[in-house]
């Protein structure tokens, strides 16, 4: 029964991807010609350029920052080790809105430049345009680099100092040790972190639209809602699925030697003394680690916080209160459903090891690799068909038309977000199960407990910390999610993320500051959890 439930769950979660491919293949040739000739070339070029630039920026920032904080001692290192994680709490679209205000002609930066040099008009001086590919790289790279930083820092700590010390005794300089020993050993972790960066870049819609970069994600949104072509949007979504598949294959290929990189290194000397930097170099290390924290968290928090302080009364307005209520409801329901399914999948893998169940479990947790805009299209198609069938059945028997009960309500949002964040919940719950010996289950069964009784009276109480952590992570990610929510929300339905998006799209970022700050404060919760784990690692 449990294995059948996992198979059904995997089929339901995988149905959006199947629906996208089906709609793309059955769409009209006119849509395909328009998409291939007009939209795809520019969108592919912009998306590819953005992926490369953000990949390079996050790799350099994350790798060097992790290496500096692990291998060297410099001023404020301990504070910066934790502070480097803070941009994880800042969604990319909020960082983009804040950057637009900060770098604008009337913003604090250009105002200071004019005050220092005596300029009075925009034509008196040149200033880089934040609404460009370069601006998008700066904003998104400064927010997404912690994925690479955390992966590399964990790998550098796992390596210990033994390999580096052996290389130093052979006459290698610290820089040579880094490039010839530590960096190659950390390659799987670097690729894993970069894949997460690429996924988040592909998923973003708010930042790229605000900064004027027409990526594939924005093209899906524009083709569906503004051009009225769902089949054209599905065809673009299939291109994104191919890119995601290539990223996943690349990540798997790079991790093929992870056992060698992590398992054959020594970690007995984690607490070995770090090399103390001296002179200007130590301050350069401090500034290098401080710069991404300032760009990815401090500046956006300063801009949004300054606006929010002046508009605290907005917290008590009906529109913010209603959006907050909708956000909490969607977040709680999504968290409960996702954690329940995750527990079922992880437990089925624990008690049964059949190939069919394993394949179904892996299929059920692939949703995080699908961008939110793509997932929204795939969710809408089966739900709309189900709504039509339900409406026809009810009308035939009662004469009453119930309307769109699934695709026209928050059910569609919950379905999409559950499919997207099920991976996060399953990995957290499975990590909790990995810490429990199978002898616990066997002892309970030997004492006369049935399988359901063992789960209810023993495993669930013991697994409570992992389950609560998974629910909290899903809840926070649901609050921050914009791409799927903006496409699937019913008429006159707003969450905090969509409310911020609406205000920012009307150039009213100041009015969006209060709900934006709520999102940031909620996002700080998992960041604090990560920071505590870094402290324990130290």
Handedness of CA 265, 270, 276, 281 (dihedral sign): positive
Give the position of tokens 């009906």: 318
- How much is the average pLDDT of 504-519? 88
Q: Report pLDDT for 105.
A: 87
Range of weakest confidence among 30-39, 148-157, 276-285, 380-389: 30-39
Predicted TM-score (pTM) of this structure: 0.84
**From start to end of 335-394, where are the E strands?**
none
Q: Dump pLDDT digits (tens) for 200-218.
A: 998 888 899 899 898 888 8
Percent of the residues in the chain that have a pLDDT greater than 70, as a whole number: 88
Q: Report pLDDT for 325.
A: 93
Q: Dump pLDDT digits (tens) for 298-341.
A: 999 999 999 999 888 888 888 899 999 999 999 999 999 999 98
Q: Dump pLDDT digits (tens) for 129-178.
A: 899 999 999 999 999 999 999 888 888 877 656 666 666 677 777 777 77
Alpha carbon 330 to its chain's center: 18
The listed range with the strongest mean pLDDT (257-271, 278-292, 409-423) is 278-292
Range of weakest confidence among 14-18, 225-229, 422-426: 225-229
Both tokens of residue 22? 């089906």
Which of 138, 154, 133 has the alpha carbon at shortest distance from 61? 138
Q: Report pLDDT for 265.
A: 44
- How much is the average pLDDT of 186-213? 87
Question: 457 near 377, Cβ under 8 Å?
Answer: no
**Is it the case that residue 384 has pLDDT exceeding 70?**
yes
Question: 296 near 95, Cβ under 8 Å?
Answer: yes
Which of 311, 314, 340, 290 has the alpha carbon at shortest distance from 81? 290
Q: Report pLDDT for 4.
A: 77
């Amino acid at each position: 029964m449990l294995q059948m439930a996992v198979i059904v769950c995997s089929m339901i979660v995988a149905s959006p991807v199947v629906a996208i491919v089906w709609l793309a293949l059955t769409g009209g040739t006119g849509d395909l010609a328009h998409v291939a000739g007009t939209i795809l070339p520019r969108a592919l070029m912009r998306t590819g350029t953005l992926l490369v630039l953000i990949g390079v920026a996050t790799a350099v920032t994350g790798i060097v920052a992790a290496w500096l904080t692990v291998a060297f001692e410099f001023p404020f290192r301990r504070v910066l080790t934790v502070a480097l994680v803070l941009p994880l709490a800042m969604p990319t679209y909020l960082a983009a809105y804040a950057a637009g205000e900060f770098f604008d002609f009337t913003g604090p930066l250009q105002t200071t430049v004019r005050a220092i040099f005596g300029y009075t008009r925009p034509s008196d001086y040149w200033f880089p345009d934040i609404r460009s590919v370069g601006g998008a790289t700066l904003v998104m790279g400064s927010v997404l680099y912690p994925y690479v930083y955390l992966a590399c820092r964990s790998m550098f700590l796992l390596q210990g100092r033994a390999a580096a010390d052996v290389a130093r005794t052979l006459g290698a300089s610290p820089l040579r040790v880094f490039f010839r020993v530590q960096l190659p050993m950390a390659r799987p972790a670097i690729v894993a972190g970069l894949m997460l960066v690429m996924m988040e870049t592909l998923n973003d819609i708010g930042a790229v639209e605000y900064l004027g970069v027409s990526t594939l994600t924005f093209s899906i949104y524009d083709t569906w809602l503004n051009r009225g072509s769902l089949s054209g949007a599905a065809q673009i979504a299939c291109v994104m699925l191919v890119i995601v598949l290539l990223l996943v294959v690349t990540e798997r290929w790079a991790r093929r030697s992870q056992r060698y990189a992590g398992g054959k290194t020594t970690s007995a000397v984690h607490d070995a003394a770090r090399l103390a930097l001296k002179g200007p170099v130590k301050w350069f290390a401090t500034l290098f680690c401080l710069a991404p924290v300032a760009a990815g968290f401090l500046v956006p928090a300063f801009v949004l916080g300054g606006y929010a302080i002046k508009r605290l009364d907005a917290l008590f307005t009906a529109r913010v209160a209603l959006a907050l209520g909708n956000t909490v409801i969607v977040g709680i329901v999504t968290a409960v459903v996702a954690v329940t399914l995750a527990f079922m999948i992880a437990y089925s893998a624990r008690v049964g090891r059949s190939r069919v169940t394993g394949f179904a479990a892996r299929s059920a947790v692939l949703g995080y690799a699908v961008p939110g805009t793509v997932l929204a299209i795939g969710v809408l198609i089966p739900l709309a068909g189900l709504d039509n069938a339900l409406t026809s059945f009810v009308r035939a028997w009662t004469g009453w038309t119930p309307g769109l009960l699934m695709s026209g309500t928050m059910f569609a949002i919950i379905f999409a977000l559950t499919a997207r964040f099920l991976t996060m919940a399953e990995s957290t719950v499975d990590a909790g199960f990995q810490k429990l010996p199978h002898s616990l289950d066997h002892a309970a069964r030997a004492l006369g407990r049935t399988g359901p009784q063992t789960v209810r009276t023993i495993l669930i109480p013991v697994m409570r910390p992992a389950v609560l952590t998974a629910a909290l992570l899903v809840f926070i990610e649901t609050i921050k999610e914009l791409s799927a929510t903006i496409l699937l929300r019913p008429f006159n339905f707003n969450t905090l993320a969509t409310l911020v998006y609406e205000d920012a799209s009307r150039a009213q970022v100041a009015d969006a500051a209060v709900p934006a700050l709520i999102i940031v404060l909620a996002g700080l919760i998992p960041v604090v959890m990560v920071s505590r784990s870094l402290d324990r690692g130290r």
